[in-house]
Structure 1
Amino acid sequence: MSAQEALFHSLPADKGLYMPTPLPELGASFFEDIAGQSLADIGFAISKALFGDEISTAELEELTHHAFPFDTPVVELETGKMSVLELFHGPSLAFKDVGARYMAALMSHYSRRTDKEVNILVATSGDTGGAVAMGFHNVPGVRVSILYPSGRVSDLQEKQLTTLGGNIQAFEVDGSFDDCQAIVKQAFVDADLNDALSLSSANSINIFRLIPQGFYYVRAYGQVRQYGKPVVFSTPSGNFGNLSAGVMVQQMGLPVAHFIAATNLNKVVPSYIQSGTYLPMSSVATISNAMDVGSPSNFVRLAHLYGDDHERFKANMSGYFYDDEQTRAGMKRIYNQYDYVTCPHTAIGIMGLEAYLSDKDSNVMGVALATAHPSKFKPLVEEVLGTEIDVPERLAILGNRSKQSIRIPAEYDAFKESLLTSVL
């Protein structure tokens, strides 16, 4: 199957998930010369290895540099020991910008060859919706439908995905993220709906939302390899696409010593690492809402990357989880100790890294992923830290915009009827 087919179809007919096979080997010399390269440079090089001749070199270079006009800097908390990889410098102030903008650039490239409109369906537990909305806003030939759980995203997250209008439509679902995700998955195997509409997904079930997230692990490595220590990444995780992307680039050659799966009370993967038994659960609502996923789609990708071998999985990855009380305490301690303001997800990533350094190996360079700008959770962060935080202008301007959404029950038929009514 071509990359174009996987991009637009999202899910194969057997209801599995696409994976690039075999993964290309980038070679040791690629990583030795990585220090001065930008996120766009790295994205182009890895994309070239994955696409081969399917997209011309000139076109691929143009679209990757268009997708990434921003950087993903590493900020030190403790010199030579612990850093934070800031992934919130894109337009929606969240790590999902990397995947969403890359997908938008790819789809724009391919859509020039066809007159058929693409309808993107995406479920969000918080940041995906805003990133996809902003990444695909006014992209020709593309309509976006975003499903989000009512009352389970922050006010500013909701504004990002409900106020743009145009080709962006939000569906407010009376249920959980898992309900939203189940509706999207059912849509892709509904023959009647697929006959009526050309459907694609911008969730991490789509391999091309996930692949570019590997780029910033490589960019981070280029910024910390100067210390000459083994590198460990701690990734706040919900649907586990972000972590799957890291493991993919590791298997392409990136010298990662270990990964940490850091999450909240939706702890199915840390529990699997500990016990060897994977038991999906009903999602639990927490203050780190973007990780409120009880049945993560990308677990099967992670397991596949480790050959469905629990011992191999456990040897390469540790898991830590924290409840809301621990998360609040962590946010406050990190602020007091490092003078660094975090959203609750980033705090969990840092706490997971600290726990690993204390429990397992302190002679490494630890990098925790900062997944969202703290202002996206302004009321919570200010309450916990007892101080006011600034909101970047591109987020602040959303405050006065009116929410536009279609509210539906957590039922597939209700969504299908609403979607067809709004599109056709």
Structure 2
Amino acid sequence: MQVNFEQVVLSGTAEDGGLFVPLELPLFEPQEIANWSTLPYDELAYRVMSPFVGEAIPEADFKRLLKEAGSHFSHRSLAPLHQVDRNEWVLELFHGPTRSSKDFAAQLQARLVQYFLRKRQRRGVVLGATNGDTGLAAIEAFKHCDETVVVVLYPQAGVPRDQLQHLQAVAHPRVHKVAVNGSFDDCQTLVSRLLRQWPCAQREVISFNSSNWVGVLAQLVFYFHAVLQLGGGQRPIGFSVPAASFAEVYAGYIAQKMGLPITQMIVATNQNDALHQLFLKNHYSRLRANKTLSPAMDLSIFSNLERFLWELYEHDDQAVSALMGTFESSGEMTLSNACWLQARMIIDSYAVSDEQTLEEITSLYRDTGYVIDPHTATGVLAARLYRRSLVAPMVTLGEISPAKSTALLGELGIIVPTQHRPLEEPGPEQLHRIEHDDLDTLHQLLGAL
């Protein structure tokens, strides 16, 4: 079923329980992309996103919303590049209000949601799962949106201390936190079930996770921005992506289809290597998450894999539905050999251990004075080990500020300014605790909002 951009923004999933995907991708000519080299970030975002938005928002309104979405970032370029080695770079995506890449999608989504809810004169529930950064970014962005209530599910024992302190300190009448006795994957499963069985017809339900198409749109711009900065849109470039979310991988994959000269993508994982096993051995499985030094990557269920499969299988709905059905029932998935080889033409992967992560942080700091967090370290190491070309620049997505890992870095003798945001002022507590499969309690909570 075809829907417009407004309905996509104000949704969790499609009516059949799947994710929204574009019927076709815009294709930009090389010279057109090159002409964007001098544009500020918000203007570039408009050029990249507008074909997906169509006539759903007038041009002036959309440009205003994009400019407002970047207004709380601490760096004037929003996403600066930092060179870490010969032809190797980190794209710093952590200069937003909560110091993670999730701010790009959250700040834009909050403004789009508010714009469309006001147009409809409706209210919404913004719902999602987090193991730290995604939920904090959503809360920060939506707490000023009077038309929405935010419901955040998080694993009771799976959120890093700093992020957990900030989550627990949030005491806002329109923010409800649900501590789940289970893993992040359990939280994701509960959210998926809620989106498919939404009990509150009087409110729109809107996912704040990257299953919402706005998250992919925001991340598309990362790639255009980096390619234009390093090669004016003409020079082939590779990317290394720490796999905290598959949305970044999918966004890079379709950015190449849209005309960017991306020659390689490296998917960097930690010990939780479900994605690495997919690209290495063509076997994807639901695994028990292990705790590591890069906790945002401690998961094995990636919603945007469904969108990626839709592209690989050339928009074959039935084939993708069959694959997702198999994974839902068995927890395992194998791609057709042709599709797996198609993915491997551009995508490589590597699983980085905690020991390698610490060594990469230490050696990079020793050799350059530059500080990275554990998530970025997995990407930087994978980029150096598995880049296919020494000529093409290799860019690692730096998704989380090192200021969020001050305790770990301090143990390594690396002192980083904390840049802590002040904790929220005490207020009415909105914290709930449930078991990993307790959908009934969640229905009761949502029904009372």
The interval holding the TM-score normalised by the smaller chain is over 0.9
Deviation at 1:36, TM superposition (A): 1.7
Cα distance in 1 for partners of 2:162, 2:143 equals: 17
Give CA-to-partner distance per residue, 1:311-336, whole Å, 9 cap, x none: 11011100011122221222212211
Cα distance in 1 for partners of 2:65, 2:234 equals: 33
Runs of 4+ with deviation above 4 angstroms: 226-229, 399-404
- Give the aligned partner of residue 76 of structure 1: 83
Return the match for 2:226 from 211, 220, 229. Answer: 220
CA contact (8 A) 2:102 2:134 kept: yes
- Give the aligned partner of residue 19 of structure 1: 21
CA contact (8 A) 2:33 2:233 kept: no
Give CA-to-partner distance per residue, 1:11-66, whole Å, 9 cap, x none: 11211111112011122223212322222111111222211222111111111111
Deviation at 1:418, TM superposition (A): 3.0
- Give the aligned partner of residue 37 of structure 1: 39
Return the match for 1:190 from 190, 197, 211. Answer: 197
Return the match for 1:210 from 211, 216, 219. Answer: 216
Q: How does 1:305-384 map to 2 (within 5 A)?
A: 305-307=311-313, 309-357=339-387, 360-383=388-411
Deviation at 1:386, TM superposition (A): 1.4
Deviation at 1:230, TM superposition (A): 2.1
- Give the aligned partner of residue 168 of structure 1: 175
Cα distance in 2 for partners of 1:7, 1:408 equals: 28
Q: Taking structure 2 as the reference length, what is the TM-score of the superposition?
A: 0.88
Is the counterpart of residue 282 in structure 1 residue 308 in structure 2? Answer: no
- Give the aligned partner of residue 90 of structure 1: 96
Give CA-to-partner distance per residue, 1:214-240, whole Å, 9 cap, x none: 112111111111697520010111331
3-state SS of paired residue (1:397): coil
Q: Taking structure 1 as the reference length, what is the TM-score of the superposition?
A: 0.93
Cα distance in 2 for partners of 1:77, 1:323 equals: 21
Q: Which amino acid letter does the alignment assign opposite residue 432 of structure 2?
A: I
3-state SS of paired residue (1:146): strand
> Which range is displaced more, 46-55 or 123-132?
46-55
CA contact (8 A) 1:47 1:60 kept: no
- Give the aligned partner of residue 414 of structure 2: 387
Deviation at 1:356, TM superposition (A): 1.4
- Give the aligned partner of residue 49 of structure 2: 47
Q: Which amino acid letter does the alignment assign opposite residue 366 of structure 1?
A: M
Aligned residues between the structures = 415
Cα distance in 2 for partners of 1:24, 1:230 equals: 20
Cα distance in 1 for partners of 2:353, 2:266 equals: 17
CA contact (8 A) 2:91 2:398 kept: yes
Give CA-to-partner distance per residue, 1:374-420, whole Å, 9 cap, x none: 1112212222x21321122xx34228868863222212223222333
> Which range is displaced more, 309-318 or 4-13?
4-13
CA contact (8 A) 1:98 1:212 kept: yes
CA contact (8 A) 1:173 1:408 kept: yes
Unpaired runs of 5+ in structure 2?
314-334
Q: Which amino acid letter does the alignment assign opposite residue 330 of structure 1?
A: E
Q: Identity over aligned residues, as a percent?
A: 27
Is the counterpart of residue 304 in structure 1 residue 330 in structure 2? Answer: no
RMSD: 2.0
3-state SS of paired residue (2:64): helix
